Chains A and B, each alone.
Chain A
Amino acid sequence: MGEYVLEMNNIVKVFPGVKALDGVTLKVRPGTVHALMGENGAGKSTLMKCLFGIYHEDGGEIILDGKKENINTSKQALELGVSMIHQELHPIAYRPVMENIWLGRFPMKGIAVDHKKMYKQTKELFKKIELDIDPAALAGTLSASQLQLVEIAKAVSYNSKVIIMDEPTSSLTENEVEHLFKIINQLRSEGRSIIYISHKMEEILKISDEVTIMRDGTYVGTWPSAELTTDLIINRMVGRDLTNRFPPKTYKTSDEPIMEVNNLTATNPKSFKDVTFTLRKGEILGIGGLVGAQRTELVEAIFGLRGIESGTIKVHGEDYKAKSVADAKKHKIALLTEERRATGIFGVLSVLDNTVIASQKNYAHMGVLQGAKRREAAVTSNKKLNTKTASMETLIKNLSGGNQQKVLLARWLLTDPDILILDEPTRGIDVGAKYEIYTIMQSLAAQGKAIIMISSEMPELLGMSDRVMVMSAGRNAGILNKEDADQVEVMRLATKYLES
């Protein structure tokens, strides 16, 4: 084995009209964790897809174990010892976990699948990485974080030399991240290499040995992690100085309550219970908590998407029943959902259609649309948010994550909400776009709008919120003022009602 287990030299990949990769180099040493960083659209995923045989590079070479390889299919990549854990998981929900893992290479007994052996193999595999999941459980019954760990187990089962992890912690809680790091350390000590893609600086600095940074499809450089700091990484990623990750607060919050939630309890007994809080005009109220704290469920119920068993909500002092989305919109509440792709964008529709869909009635007379008015609304609101798109007719699925998020924000701003609920507004968005979204949030608060922001990223939660409400096992564990909120306090509250 040479110095590197994997060398990708001068990789070029061209899509119609775009040069997605322009001479990118990635060299990974055996037995190391190699972080790959860059803003969204920098080409990290494209590079990894070339390695994993999903795309074929238009130029450059891939050398595995000193041998030049031409990888055309994912199957081939797996056979060559490269496995990939995708950012978005697509398990076969109605099949057992073990079948998901061994799909395509089931242990056989004659012409029949040997389920007993499969079960045993899976059990052993899980034991190795300390995963406590029944191999026969249906994949659909697992939580997102469990699935992530199962995916990792699958990668381990291929006995891969190189494991690509694309944002593996985006749906994990802090404890689970610790668990993941333990697994990664174990893999590293076995001599495997891990290519680790993440936006989370703290994680990168903690787990990785080397960092390769990309920008706009080009190679910026590779550095040992020990020589890097968060600021240095950000600098090199964006190619400009970004002294502050959060814009300075310039607005003043009032004490005037805009929404009062009293003892709200969900119809689903496993969901939130007895939640009470007040939202004030012109403030950003952060909601923190672990995965499973029912934060999304709470705001979806307030938005009329889920059943409410008991409790009251008052908006502007008036009773609000939260029976439907139409009801919520009437009370000037807007919700930017957590799952951008699943419940946010209409991928096959244009930016224009996507922007105006929630406020369509404003540009219609007796059900007939007024094209010019509609277009103008979409153009102005996207311009305000600095959305980058080739035209209003571009399909939204062709935009980067950050720009998609801005279109969604534009969509809801067009409904002219007083209360804007943002569920993980910057998930999977690059640093530059994040900063822009923060600025937008602050300017909305300055206009007197109230914002509820659910965030699982501690720095964001602490940096952006005027107050932080922490939820634990479906209950409000406490509300912290900005001055009192720190990581330790939030974590203490987040685990308050957890049964151990």
Chain B
Amino acid sequence: MEEKSMSFKKFYTSFTIIGAVIAIFGVIFHFLQTSNGWKKLYDLPWFIVIIGVFIAGYSIFKNLTNKNEDAVVDMSSRAIKMFFLNNGIKIALGIMVIIIMIIEPNFMKLKVLRDILAQASPRMIIALGICFTLLIAGTDLSACRMVGLAAVISASMMQNPDYANRFFPDLPHLPVIVPIILAILACMIFGLLNGFLVARFDMHPFIATLATQVIIYGACSLYFDMPPNNSQPIGGIRSDFSAIGQTLLWKDKLPSNIGGIPILIPIALLFIIVIWFVLNKTVFGKNVYAIGGNREAAVVSGINVPMTIVGIFVLASALYGVGGVLEAARTAGATNNYGVGYELDAIAACVVGGVSLNGGVGKVSGIIIGVLIFTIIQYGLQFIGVNAMWQQVIKGVIIAVAVAIDLSKYRGK
């Protein structure tokens, strides 16, 4: 077998150059477009610029963080095969996006990208929560109902004073932060219950969170059914609350082809950074990976396993709570059925992003990709008019194929 390799530095430097060339090409393309009036291509040049900048930035980052001077990149045919296997789902996604763009050139708009990111944001926060429970080889089925609970609680206290059908007719004007905190706290109490059941009784998270899920739905419905609301959808949401989910930042300062950045994107970004930090830079995060990697060894190493498990479920529930509040704000309303199916979507996104259900393996970057894949596909299929039933079929196929590819990495004879 022939052994081919290339120095790490050279490899990534060449990618930096390629990225820069692509970016410059994009800029030139943009000027050609404006001078020639190629309206049909929409924002394609900008997409090219973004791709170029991303490639260059990623390779520069790789070069800067590389500590080993003599590192080489394996360029054998086997390594290249492995590359395609490792990134198969991303490549498939790229091809799909290109196909969608060809069918519907409208897709090549920065606004589309913006909407996809905004749509992905609440899901991202929920997926980040659920990934903790997956990392310890558990799961959390109660995520969906916690989203619903947080949505109902926060929305119920955030109605306009002159709205006819108020949940609490005599409620004074509360600062926005109060119902948000109450909603998140309510979720955390149930998260504590999850953690207690799992840690104290060694219950499998599947069962513990299934029980909690049912309890939360019941409790939430009871709350929702209180007179005078009597299970009416909550509406008439105050604009200062819905602003949390609907505001467009820099609406007037950005060019019209973007038209403002939805506030959900920076909020999700903030949580991504926080969770990345927790997982990679704190004792708690390392303990999560250790418990997932080998629970017995974690006990022997002196890690407080029960406390860590409780911490995981409480932290996760807080994130679902945030997700629920954002959902209520974004849609300016809530019912007790908010969030249904979110837990399975989030688990699927994590798994497609490389989080192992056996525990101990998973990265934030993978979760981001997983969530984006699902959002892009859903949005894209809707965009080209694939009907909802087919969308479901395609989504299922993606889960199966992505995980099959991921697992085949580990098998190999």
Residue from the set B287, B292, B301, B413 with the largest chain A CB neighbour count within 10 Å: B301
Q: Which stretch of B19-27, B43-51, B276-284 is in the interface?
A: B276-284
Residue in B closest to A328 when the chains form the complex, CB atoms:
B302
Flag whether B189 is at the interface (Cβ < 8 A).
Answer: no
> Could you mark each residue 26-65 of chain A with 1 if its beta carbon is under 8 Å from any beta carbon of chain B, else 0?
0000000000000000000000000000011000000000
* B392 at the binding interface (Cβ < 8 Å): no
Q: Are B360 and A343 in contact (CB under 8 A)?
A: no
Q: Does B91 contact A (CB under 8 A)?
A: no
Kindly state the separation between the CA atoms of A324 and B301 in the bound complex, as whole angstroms.
11
Is B283's CB under 8 angstroms from A360's CB?
yes
Are A343 and B286 in touch, CB under 8 angstroms? Answer: no
Q: Could you mark each residue 65-86 of chain B with 1 if its beta carbon is under 8 Å from any beta carbon of chain A, else 0? A: 0001000001000110010000
Q: In the complex, which residues 197-231 of chain A have their Cβ closer than 8 Å to any Cβ of chain B?
A: none
Chain B 388-413: CB-based contact to A (< 8 A → 1; otherwise 0): 00000000000000000000000001
Contact between chains at B361 and A369 (CB < 8 Å): no
* Docked complex: B347-389 residues within 8 A CB-CB of A: 356, 360-361
Known: A328-B302, A335-B300, A367-B282. A347 touches B1 (CB 8 A): no
Measured between C-beta atoms, what is the minimum distance from B339 to chain A in Å?
31
Q: Complex Cα distance A16/B82, Å?
A: 11
Cβ of A6 to closest chain B Cβ, rounded Å: 22
Q: Is the CB of A342 within 8 A of B283?
A: no
With A326-B302, A349-B360, A357-B290 as given contacts, are A55 and B284 in contact (CB-CB < 8 Å)? no
Contact yes or no, A349 B293, CB < 8 A:
yes
- Interface residue B303 (Cβ < 8 Å from any Cβ of A): yes
Nearest CB on B from A56, distance (A): 6
Indicate if A348 sits at the interface (CB-CB under 8 A): yes
One of A55, A324, A346 near B360 (C-beta < 8 A): A346
Q: For window 329-357 of chain A, which residues contact chain B by CB distance below 8 Å?
A: 329, 335, 337, 342-349, 353, 357
Least Cβ–Cβ distance between A114 and chain B, in angstroms: 35
Report B289-316 residues with CB < 8 Å from chain A CB. 289-290, 292-294, 296-304
- Looking at B74, B282, B361, the one whose CB has the most chain A CB atoms below 10 A away is B282
Contact, CB under 8 Å: B301 / A369: no
CA gap between A411 and B287 in the complex, in Å: 15
Roughly how many angstroms separate A56 CA and B282 CA in the complex, as a whole number? Answer: 43
Residues of B within 8 A of A344 (CB): 294, 297, 300
**Complex-state Cα separation, A343 to B294, whole angstroms:** 7
Near B by CB (< 8 A), chain A positions 358-386 give: 358, 360-361, 364, 367-369, 371
Interface flags, B262-291, vs A, CB<8A=1, else 0:
000000000000000000011110110110
Q: Given known contacts A343-B296, A346-B293, A347-B293, is B301 in contact with A357 (CB within 8 Å)?
A: yes
Whether B302 lies near A343 (C-beta < 8 A) is no
Closest chain A residue, CB of each to CB of B1? A14
Question: Could you tell me how many residues of chain B have their Cβ less than 8 Å away from some Cβ of chain A?
Answer: 30
Q: Does A343 lie within 8 Å of B297, measured CB to CB?
A: yes
CB distance from B232 to the nearest CB of A (A): 45
- On chain B, the residues within 8 Å of A358 by CB distance are 301-302
**B300, A305: Cβ atoms closer than 8 Å:** yes
Complex Cα gap A411–B302 (Å): 12
User: Is B281 touching A342 in the complex (CB atoms < 8 A)?
Assistant: no
Contact between chains at A368 and B294 (CB < 8 Å): no
* Prevailing SS type, chain A contact patch: mixed
Within 8 Å by CB of A325, from B74, B82, B287, B300, lies: B300
Residue in chain B with minimal CB distance to A14:
B1
A305 and B294 form a contact (CB under 8 A):
no
Pick the most buried of B82, B287, B292, B296: most chain A CB atoms within 10 A of its CB: B296
Q: Which residues of B contact A345 (CB under 8 A)?
A: 294, 297
Is A391 an interface position by the 8 A CB rule? Answer: yes
Q: How far is the CB of B69 from chain A (nearest CB, A)?
A: 13
Q: How far is the CA of A49 from the CA of B300 in the complex (A)?
A: 32
List the B residue with the shortest CB-CB distance to A358: B301
The answer to whether B361 touches A346, judged by C-beta atoms less than 8 angstroms apart, is no
Contact between chains at B294 and A325 (CB < 8 Å): no
Interface string of A312-332 (1 = CB under 8 A from B): 000000000000111011000
Alpha-carbon gap, A368 to B292, bound state (A): 20
Which residue from chain B places its CB closest to the CB of A340 in the assembled complex?
Answer: B297
| Pair A346/B282 contact, Cβ less than 8 Å | no
B360 touches A348 (CB 8 A): yes
CB-CB under 8 A from B356, the residues of chain A are: 348
With A328-B302, A343-B297, A344-B297 known as contacts, the answer to whether A353 contacts B290 (CB < 8 A) is yes
Docked-complex contact A411 and B301, CB < 8 angstroms: yes
Q: Using Cβ atoms and an 8 Å threshold, which residues of chain B touch A360?
A: 283, 286-287
Contact A353 B300 (CB under 8 A): no
- Using a CB–CB cutoff of 8 Å, the interface residues on chain B facing chain A are 1, 68, 74, 78-79, 82, 281-284, 286-287, 289-290, 292-294, 296-304, 356, 360-361, 413
A-B contact list, 28 entries, CB within 8 Å: A14-B1, A305-B299, A325-B301, A329-B302, A337-B300, A343-B294, A345-B297, A346-B289, A346-B293, A346-B294, A346-B297, A346-B360, A347-B294, A347-B360, A348-B292, A348-B356, A349-B290, A349-B293, A349-B360, A353-B286, A353-B290, A357-B298, A357-B303, A360-B287, A367-B284, A368-B283, A369-B282, A369-B283
Beyond the given pairs A343-B297, A358-B301, A371-B281, 20 more chain A to chain B contacts, judged by CB atoms under 8 angstroms and listed by A's residue number, are A325-B299, A326-B302, A337-B297, A337-B300, A342-B294, A343-B294, A344-B294, A345-B297, A346-B289, A346-B290, A349-B293, A353-B289, A353-B290, A357-B286, A357-B298, A358-B302, A360-B286, A368-B282, A369-B282, A391-B68
